[in-house]
Structure 1
Amino acid sequence: MSFSAEELSFLQEMQDVKPLTPSDKVDLTGPSQLTLAQKLKRQAVEETLQQDSNYLSVERVDPLDPYDFLEYKKDGVQEGVYKKLRLGQYQIDEVLNLQMMKIEQARTLLFNTLMESHKRGIRTLLVRHGLGLKSKPFPALVKSYVNQWLRQIPEVLAFHSALKAHGGLAATYVLLRKSEQQRLANRERHQKR
């Protein structure tokens, strides 16, 4: 039998390797206590994974005027539902304050709060973003990003600037679609009729 140079090199390297026998024991459990460095590394990896699931873009935003109205409605949302949202007639189940936050903090908090609210069955939120008259690099920085981000989240059906009593142009009503549990409950309720 003739071997190539690579095969000969491999055989020479493997010459002193012995196969494992059933009596050979290997401890696969590892140390029972994680070191502080291992815990910190695991925490950093988990945070990175959480951030990776946040698909909201910070790359580019179309600047708004601080006094612009925010309004958006997905196709299929009934006019009556949207009108009720615009007029602040839905019960506000959650209030999220993003004022005076850095963009990355606002992005993370908005995304996490909306995802968690949707899971919990919350339908209507009030997001306080402020007017941002003195924000840098341009006025209404957070408000501009909120306008962009809310459009990127599939769970958001509609949003509209709030009434003066709830913060006016410095806040926005957000309507989330029903969770799967709410849909099933609705379906069962309507089938019983």
Structure 2
Amino acid sequence: MTRKKPVSLADIHLFRDEIEGVKPLKQDKIQPKRLPSKKKRITANELHKQSQAEFFFSDQFHAHFDQDGPLKYTQPGADTHEVKRLRRGETPPDLILDLHGFNKEQAKMEIAALIRTALKNHFECVCIVHGIGSYVLKKAVPSWLVQHPSVLGFHQAPLEWGGKGALLVLLEQQH
């Protein structure tokens, strides 16, 4: 083990001369985030879902869709023919997520996890069953999906996959 050399008196004076006139910074009064109580501890998986949902999906953004026809979207530059295949039911979903009983925050986290899982497993199409109910998720889900960079498009599902209460989502495969 090596011993540290003692600091010379000249170095101490040089240091003091260099920092002369420097004022200390005021400490910000930002409180750290509180951890949930023991009853509501969040698991690492839930934290990851939450961070993914917050990163991709903003509640402030509201997409506008044609009110006359079925709910559909195609990412700019994506092949519209593939989205038409969703409408005709030619592309069956590899995964189905049923959001019945979920609130907005839970639904947002589950959709982020669904897309992450689908991309990880190289799935091309997923189905999100949002239901109709009070229209909360029916309005929010399409606006969230438009924001995700891996969503090439979506279309209202055919009756066999949920009709007006579901969306078939086409995902971009990453190589």
Range class of TM-score, shorter chain? 0.5 to 0.7
- Structure 1 CA distance for aligned equivalents of residues 43 and 141 of structure 2: 27
Q: Does 1:144 align with 2:139?
A: yes
Q: Helix, strand or coil: the match of 1:149?
A: helix
Q: Residues 163 and 75 (structure 1 numbering): CA distance in 2 closer, same or farther, change over 3 Å?
A: same
| 1:4-23 correspondence runs (5 A) | none
Letter of the aligned partner of 1:73 in structure 2?
T
User: Number of matched residues?
Assistant: 138
The letter for the 2-side match of 1:142 is L
SS of equivalent residue, structure 1 residue 69: coil
**Larger Rg: 1 or 2?**
1
1:52 corresponding residue in structure 2: 51
**Paired residue for 2:156?**
161
Fraction of identical pairs, as percent: 28
Following TM superposition, by how much is the alpha carbon of 1:68 offset from its aligned partner in structure 2, in angstroms?
7.1
Say whether the 8 Å CA contact 1:96–1:127 is kept in structure 2: yes
Q: Secondary structure at the match of 1:96?
A: strand
- TM-superposed deviation, 1:79: 3.0
Deviations, residues 60-82 of structure 1 (Å, cap 9, x unaligned): 65799xx9732100122223222
Which AA in structure 1 matches 2:161? H
Distance between the aligned counterparts of 2:85 and 2:151, measured in 1? Answer: 16
Which whole-Å CA distance do the structure 2 matches of 1:174 and 1:89 have between them?
13
* Letter of the 1:117 counterpart: A
Q: Which residue of 2 aligns with 1:120?
A: 121
CA distance in 2, matches of 1:145, 1:126: 15
- Choose the corresponding residue for 2:167, options 152, 165, 172: 172
Which ranges of structure 1 fall in alignment gaps of 5 or more residues?
A: 8-39, 181-193
Scaled by the length of structure 2, what TM-score is found? 0.67
Instruction: Give distance in 2, aligned partners of 1:129 and 1:68.
Output: 18
Tell me, yes or no, if the aligned pair for 2:96 and 2:127 is still in contact at 8 Å. yes
- State the distance in 1 between where 2:76 and 2:163 align: 25
TM-aligned CA deviation for residue 44 of structure 1: 4.4
**C-alpha separation in 2, matches of 1:62 and 1:79:** 18
After superposition, the C-alpha distances for 1:17-55 in whole angstroms (9 at most, x for unaligned) are xxxxxxxxxxxxxxxxxxxxxxx7xx7484445523322
How far, CA to CA, are the matches of 1:69 and 1:79 in structure 2? 15
User: Which 5+ residue runs of structure 2 have no aligned equivalent?
Assistant: 1-8, 17-37
RMSD: 3.0
Equivalent residue letter for 1:99: H
Query: 1:141: how far off?
Result: 0.5
Query: Partner of 2:123: helix, strand, or coil?
Result: coil
TM-score scaled to structure 1, two decimals? Answer: 0.61
Q: What does residue 72 of structure 1 align with? A: 73
The answer to whether the 8 Å contact 1:88/1:162 transfers is yes
1:58 positional shift: 2.8
List, as ranges, runs of 4+ consecutive aligned residues in structure 1 with deviation greater than 3 Å: 43-50, 59-64
